[in-house]
Structure 1
């Protein structure tokens, strides 16, 4: 079958179409004819050599998110059949004509969505739900600050927080403010021209917010801590701005009873990933079917142009998900 391969780590142009063996179906697997694959930042790390030459459990081929049609099922599979339209997170192998997925990670694509939209749901919304609600314990009426509110996970987090009934603040480039408001943000902060700590202080009479979801890392860390209210929670879900050393005022951490939580999905054990997907599916999948939630697709590229798709993400040009069509 055709898949994206690369002989050396490097820039997006190392990616090319090549031939690889078809996946072998294991007892708990669905074999899927891939119609669309989500592009994620982990794919960029893979291409640059950040994981070495990985086998994430399903494939050495790049890609962690698929939508497509089931063409074969393993002996231990329950609740799925050949012909089902499914979407889900895989342990590698998405950038290919066929992929296998553990059936416990698979979800039906809502009838109102096509494959591209299906490929834009699971990674960002499962991650956002885990950070906001399972770990961040966001409650209706609380105030949350979502950084990178126009990105894939950030945009999903804005939608979920709004649907939950929270007051939503988000940071985004000025050109993306209209979209972020459309997703449900009450206030959008221009991170290029405004200091979010000043805006938060002004909006909360100096108290701070209840929860912050951050993808940036070290450059924002101390300011995030200073922007939290008593008992506030910071969920660190990315380090797009750098993984260097970060400092914070320890007296604020201590006397404000703050909680700092780090999370990443890809390296979690498989049973933890099953639980994460299950929590999201039970809580929110029906909200896609009835139109309360929707994926945000930035752009699509054919599989052969995976390098161009990753280049767009690397340049920070996307607003929402980039999806490969296969």
Structure 2
């Protein structure tokens, strides 16, 4: 089968399209003919050597954490699916390939209204967004939430879910066009982080009270302002550290306002934790994708052999929503998709 691999950490040019052995399925696995795979920041970190040379956080050295495709083989103990079923799933690596194995408990049916490219834009970002907003952040209707990097994959998914919950959203993005697009998804107050102070905007929007939840991907440089943007009892959910790991922690504020800082990441979770996260998301949101109330946001689709170009696009923060790799021969040309598709 064709797959993307790399030897030695490096920039996007280390990615190569090669022939790899077919995955060997385990008793609880499904073998999936991958039609589309989502690209995530964790894939870039893996390529850069952040996770080391061994698949410590998965079961394949082939990159790729989320897929959509059809079942072509069913393990003897796999449950809930049969050959020919359309599925989407979070995988322990191996997504950038024509075939991938996945434990059946990690799969979700692909709604009939969605293409494979759209389905591949759901699992990783939406499960992560639900975990941060609802399970950890305890966001409820009428609450205020501050969502950083709202034009990115997880950020835009978080805006969609927060709006569906009935929360009010302060968000950061760059430029008038992106702010307008996030507003169209349900954002309440947009902040251009290059020109405006999100702390002032959050306090102004909430009448000085502060927001109930902050979803942050930046890390250290935002830590102090994120905590100052929280209302008493508020929760900072740290999903990423794109801006670095060192920041100012106002401990007095943390103590006197009864604030909580909670870290979460998908790739390093145990298999059992990933199953639980997927189940929580599916129970809460799958029906909304089935009936069309929610639609995944696909920015553009690249053919598998242009994975390096897709990585460079993500590293340049050119995307609004998800960047997808397509394995279908009929989709082997660059296909930009506008907005929610």
Band the TM-score falls in, shorter-chain normalisation: over 0.9
The farther-off stretch of 294-303 and 172-181 is 172-181
Please name the residue that 2:301 is paired with. 300
Aligned residue runs from structure 1 range 308-319, under 5 A: 308-319=309-320
Aligned residue runs from structure 1 range 218-229, under 5 A: 218-229=220-231
Q: Which ranges of structure 1 fall in alignment gaps of 5 or more residues?
A: none
Inter-partner Cα distance in structure 2 for 1:197 and 1:171: 11
Number of equivalent positions: 325
Q: Could you tell me the TM-score, scaled by structure 1's length? A: 0.98
Inter-partner Cα distance in structure 2 for 1:209 and 1:293: 24
Say whether the 8 Å CA contact 1:4–1:306 is kept in structure 2: yes
Aligned residue runs from structure 1 range 96-245, under 5 A: 96-174=97-175, 175-243=177-245, 245=246
Q: Could you tell me the TM-score, scaled by structure 2's length? A: 0.94
Q: CA deviation at 1:54?
A: 2.8
Please name the residue that 2:80 is paired with. 79
Q: CA deviation at 1:58?
A: 3.0
Say whether the 8 Å CA contact 2:33–2:100 is kept in structure 1: yes
Deviation by residue 1:288-324 (Cα, 9 ceiling, x = unmatched)? 1112111100111100000000000011111100000
The farther-off stretch of 58-67 and 36-45 is 58-67
Say whether the 8 Å CA contact 1:141–1:165 is kept in structure 2: yes
Q: Does 1:7 align with 2:7?
A: yes
Inter-partner Cα distance in structure 2 for 1:122 and 1:224: 27
Flag as ranges the 4+ runs of structure 1 deviating above 2 A.
54-58
Inter-partner Cα distance in structure 1 for 2:118 and 2:205: 35
- Residue 118 of structure 1 aligns to a residue whose secondary structure is helix
Deviation by residue 1:72-98 (Cα, 9 ceiling, x = unmatched)? 010111110000000010000001110
Please name the residue that 2:334 is paired with. none
Inter-partner Cα distance in structure 1 for 2:291 and 2:184: 17
- Residue 92 of structure 1 aligns to a residue whose secondary structure is coil
The farther-off stretch of 11-20 and 56-65 is 56-65
